[in-house]
Structure formats: C-alpha cells, structure tokens
Amino acid sequence: MDVTTIAQDVLELIQTREGGMGTDLGEAERRIKAQLEQIGKAALQWHMDQHAPLGYQGSRRACPCGQKQRFVEHRPRTVQTTLGTVTMRRAYYHCRSCGTGAVPYDQQAGLGSMAVSPGLAKRACALSIDLPFAKAAQKLAELTGLRLSASSVERLTGHAGEVADRIEQAQAACMATWQAPAEAPAAAGRLYLSVDGVMAPMRAGWEEIKAAVCYWRDAQGTLFRRYCARTEKIDRAWAVAEACGLSGCRESVLLGDGAAWIWERVSPVIAPDVQIVDWYHACAHLWEAGHAVHGEGTAACQAWVESLKDLLWEGQIEALLDRLHQTLKPLRSPDKRQALETLCGYVQGHRAQMAYDRFRALGLDIGSGLMESACRTVVQERLKRPGTRWHPPNAQRVLSLRVCHLNGLWDSFWGNRPLAA
C-alpha cells in the first residue's frame, strides 16, 4: 500500500468520525494532525506490544560482578513519547550475589531514570538550552502539544548536560597524551583561537566564565567556527582547536585581551604561531586611563586617547610609551598616576602582541569581534537572565549542551543515548 492510499484511508476515517471537512486550511490541518497523533500513538503501542517481552536475554545473563543475573519477570513501564504515552513490558533480571537488578531494554533504548523517551527529551533540551526551564516547558506544549513540567525539563537538561560535560572533560584530558579528538573537519589554512572571560551570576556572586571560539575560513572565504565555555579552567580550548585542525594548519593565531590566564595558561598549550592582543581591548585600556587623567566625556580625554590610538594602530609602541611617560611626569594625583602606570605596564608587557601594523600587513584579524559575539551567544543569552542565579555545576551542564548544539554535534550526541549513560 502506497502513501497516497494510506492518506486517503486516513481522510475517510476522519470524515466518518467527524463528518466532512470544509476548505478552511487551518481547521483541516488541526483535525488531520489530531487524528494522525492518535494513529501514531496507537501504532507505537501496537509495535511495542508486538515485540514484548522487551530485552529478554534468556533465563540467565552475565552480571558486571562476575556472577549471573537471573530472569525474574516482565515489568511494565509507562513512558511519555513524542507520539503520546505508551506502556512497555520489559524483562527484569536480578543478581543474588551482588543484589543489583537490571532491565537490559532500558539501556538498549536509551531510557534514563525518568519516564521520557529520548526523542521527547531531545526536544525539551533543545528548548531549555535557549530558554529558562519553565518557559521551555511552556514552549514545548505550545509547539508540540507535549507536556512536561518545568522541573522535569530541568532534570532532563541536567542529566544530558552532565554527560556532555563529561565528554568535554575526557577530550581535555587527551591533552596529557596529545591525542587530538576528531569531531570537525581539519582547517587547512590559518586557524584563529580567540579567548575571553564573561561574568555570569552564580549563587555565591558573579563569577567568570572562560569562553573560546576557534574559527577559520576556507578557500572560498566561508567562515567556520567552534565554541567552548567552562566555569573553571579552559583546557577544553585545546581540544576544540585540535578538532578544528590545529596540528595541521598553516598558521595558528591566538587572540585575547591582557588577562594573565590567557597568555600564561592557554598560550603555552596552544603554542600559536602568532599572539595578538585584541585591538578593541587595547583601546579600552587607553580610554580607561584617559577617563582617569582627563575626565570622562571631556574634549581633552578624546584628543589624548585618539592620539594614542593612532600610535598604537601604526605599531609605534616606543612613541606611545614616551607619550605616556610625558603625561605621567607632571601628575601629582595618586589615582591618576596609578592609572597611567597601570597602562604603561600593560603596554610594556604586551608590546610584542601589539604590532598592529605588522599584523595588518599580514592580513591577520586584530579584533576579536567573533569572541564578543561568542560571549553573547554561548553564555549571556542563556545564563544572564533577570533573577537568574546558578550553581556552577548546573551552569556548566547547560553550557556544555549549548556548545554541543552550536558546534553541530547535537544529533550525534543524542545518537549515543545520553539519558542511559
């Protein structure tokens, strides 16, 4: 029987049950969809019944403790699916030696401790990585008619996110033996890694999330990017860069601000060919000193900062430092002197990473606009919402799932049955 014949039969069934349908598209769509959902649920239940008992592996099966688990009975379990609620009968085993029980089918089907199918969990998590859990549950009901409580969505997200977090930790651990993970096509040309920190509200106060974006362009100029974000150390940045082709690229570039952790912890691991202090962060330091010395919003501040930016743009670091020292000499205010001394130390410490004239001549990116966008996309849009306060482990689970989705790994992640992990 072909699809057209089946469709005609379904339409006849609907007309028999509810009478003829008019030509109103919306009403016809609603009524047909409602009937198809009922048919789908019935078909799924019938399919599961046909294969019962599920997961039966004989009267005895091996137990992880080394002994044998004995078949006890067929136990029912009701599960909420994308087609509705169905009940399944699964084989249950028990080991007398270690006292543990097992339901093989639940593991095979990717079912976790909650009575939710992997397909429904995947949909719920796809919403919860963008929306607060209550809104995600509401949106799920609006879009699909499938209802889960906000707490259920949160638990599903937490479980799947914990698995995603463990995967990231395992990939970062490969750094000990320099085993590059393979999760993205290798970059053949110039590869950028941009790193920054973004503050997020935690239960104990505001804490820094360390984020990174790895990006490259192909021969046609198409931009590719991969993200990571961690509430603790950023070892995962190495794994992301390796997965993007760090070892085989023609040239690697590290872009960041002046934060010590970037150059002391990330740079030695990545070992980039070029290190660049982000142009916009460098300019922000000039403005900060200008505000302290000349006053924010004053013409004197504007003129002073713009003259320094010109020197910085042309890579004239010595002339820039001379100008700063000339400004510093007559100052008597401790606060103003401190601001200028801090700026001098910043420029002096990163002078090799501020050769913007040379970087531009080589066609290198000197600004991390993609990093600013990554901070918003990966962290701020989900974690920094009004009234939100996170436990760091919960924040990391959401971030790991969010990164998984943004990096194009969503389907493969769910294909590995994370709920049963």
pLDDT digits (tens, 9 = 90+) for 376-398: 999 999 999 888 899 999 999 99
Q: CA nearest 150: which of 128, 134, 135, 161?
A: 134
Token pair, residue 71, equals: 């078949």
- The strands making up 190-202's β-sheet, listed across from edge to edge, are 223-230, 205-217, 190-202, 251-256, 274-277
Q: Spell out the domain ranges in the chain.
A: 3-50, 60-149
197-210: per-residue pLDDT in tens? 899 999 999 999 99
Cβ 97 vs Cβ 65: under 8 Å: yes
Within 8 A by CB and 6+ apart from 399, the residues are 161, 209, 229, 230, 231, 378, 379, 382, 383
The answer, yes or no, to whether residue 266 has pLDDT greater than 80, is: yes
The answer, yes or no, to whether residue 348 has pLDDT greater than 90, is: yes
Q: What is the mean pLDDT of residues 336-356?
A: 94
**Exposed e or buried b per residue across 80-96, where buried means at least 16 C-beta atoms within 10 angstroms of its C-beta:** bbbbeebebbbbbbebe
The pLDDT of residue 289 is 95
How far apart are alpha carbons 245 and 240 in whole angstroms? 9
DSSP-derived secondary structure for 122-148: HHHHHHHTTS-HHHHHHHHHHHHS---
Token pair, residue 61, equals: 């099966």
The answer, yes or no, to whether residue 180 has pLDDT greater than 70, is: no
Task: Report which of residues 117 and 172 the model is more confident about.
Answer: 117
The whole-chain average pLDDT of the chain stands at: 90
pLDDT band for position 1 (cuts 50, 70, 90) = low
Q: What is the mean pLDDT of residues 219-223?
A: 86
pLDDT band for position 36 (cuts 50, 70, 90) = confident
Q: What pTM was estimated for this model as a whole?
A: 0.86
CA 172 distance to own-chain centroid? 15
Which DSSP letter does residue 91 get? E
Task: Report which of residues 247 and 308 the model is more confident about.
Answer: 308
The pLDDT of residue 18 is 67
